[in-house]
Amino acid sequence: MSPARHVWTTGVGRALVVLLGVLAVLAVAAPASAHVGGGAAGSDFDAAVRTVSPELPGVSVRVLQFGDELEVVNETDTELTVPGYSGEPYLRIGPDGVWRNAASPATYLNLDRYGRTPMPDGVDITAAPRWEQVSTQSQYVWHDHRTHWMTQDLLPPVVAADPSQPHTVIEWTVPMTHGDTDVVVEGVLTWSPPPPAWLVWPGYVLLLAGTVAAGWLARGPRPLAAVLALGALAAIYHALATPEPPSSVSSHVGAIVSALLPALLVLLAAAIGVRAAARGRGVLTGLMAVVVGWLLLVQGLPDVDVLWTANALTAGPQVLVRVAVAVLVAGGLGLVLGGVGAVRRFRDDARAPGDPVGEPALH
């Protein structure tokens, strides 16, 4: 290779790596915003609404975060009211937005998942309602403590008696009123055993070890490129399987688009790395592996708890999202470590005299 071409190639390679590094840093915030719900991505508990009786066209009720939250959307012209735990007025949801009774104990109990918000003076179920507007939208999300297990770090008795089997923990009801019509929302909270550690953890370890070995031990850069392609596929699927967020946060399409931005950056960097590997450019492949590995970790770590829990927040099959997150986390860490090894090895090979397939060293 001529000196001029050597300098040009080295400069382009450096500029490309710097550009992708800057984009990787800028992409850090995207998965956080795409991680809808803001809580755990996995849980052994799960909840579902069974019936809304009578059915109310224009009114939707669903549980979020495995039952940790209840969401009501009222698109009708009639106000829907929700009482507190003692039957006192609590919420009004309708065309004028959401109004909450500051005198209701439920107002403060429902601010925290475990009901730990201090109760201010003047709160009394017999007091006259003090309505405060908390939203101009006709939808609201709150921690309704009838829909989830309240005791932290303690399993329900039925689960503790036999944690190897799935169980129904509670069958719950939440009363509401739509205009003059009494409404009952019925649902269920369940618990499922997590996947056996002996079955899934060896796979995670093998994925990590194999990826690191692809960078440090493989004779050429193509095994590392194969992991780059797998990582890009996992990132795209993980983005497309983004669950529907609360209505007040974003639309489902908006959440997917937000999650796709860092996934497409992974795809771009992986494509560069695969192309470099096909040309025998091990150093550039290794550099792209580090960039892609970092991006995969950024996307996968917020959802890492799905690797050891029974249920995952996803719009796709549970097994597939668990595989995707395993690739993002174990494969991402492996790409960072393996990419460093590839850069060191192939740079040394490029500097070795007489190497027929060496490439210019990056100075």
For range 339-354, the mean pLDDT = 77
What pLDDT score does 21 carry? 55
CB 185 within 8 A of CB 250: no
What pLDDT score does 4 carry? 47
- Cα–Cα distance measured from residue 268 to residue 271, given in angstroms and rounded to the nearest whole number: 5
What pLDDT score does 359 carry? 46
The string of pLDDT tens digits covering residues 64-83 is: 999 999 999 999 999 999 99
What pLDDT score does 26 carry? 47
SS3 127: coil
Task: Delimit the domains of the chain by residue range.
Answer: 3-39+195-351, 45-191
Strand partners, 10: none
Residue linked to tokens 């492996």: 334
What pLDDT score does 363 carry? 38
Is the pLDDT at 161 greater than 70, yes or no? yes
The string of pLDDT tens digits covering residues 130-158 is: 999 999 999 999 999 999 999 988 999 99
How crowded is residue 247: how many other Cβ atoms within 10 Å of its Cβ? 19
* CB burial string 164-203: b at 16+ within 10 A, e below: eeebebbebebebebeeeebebebbbbbbeebeeeebeee
For range 323-348, the mean pLDDT = 94
> Would the pTM count as exceeding 0.75?
yes
The string of pLDDT tens digits covering residues 274-302 is: 999 999 999 999 999 999 999 999 999 99
- Cα–Cα distance measured from residue 336 to residue 289, given in angstroms and rounded to the nearest whole number: 6
Is the pLDDT at 115 greater than 50, yes or no? yes
The string of pLDDT tens digits covering residues 303-314 is: 999 999 999 999
SS3 267: helix
What pLDDT score does 337 carry? 97
Distance of CA 23 to CAs 191, 294, 331, 339, Å? 41, 11, 20, 18
Confidence of residue 237 (pLDDT cuts 50, 70, 90): very high
What pLDDT score does 152 carry? 86
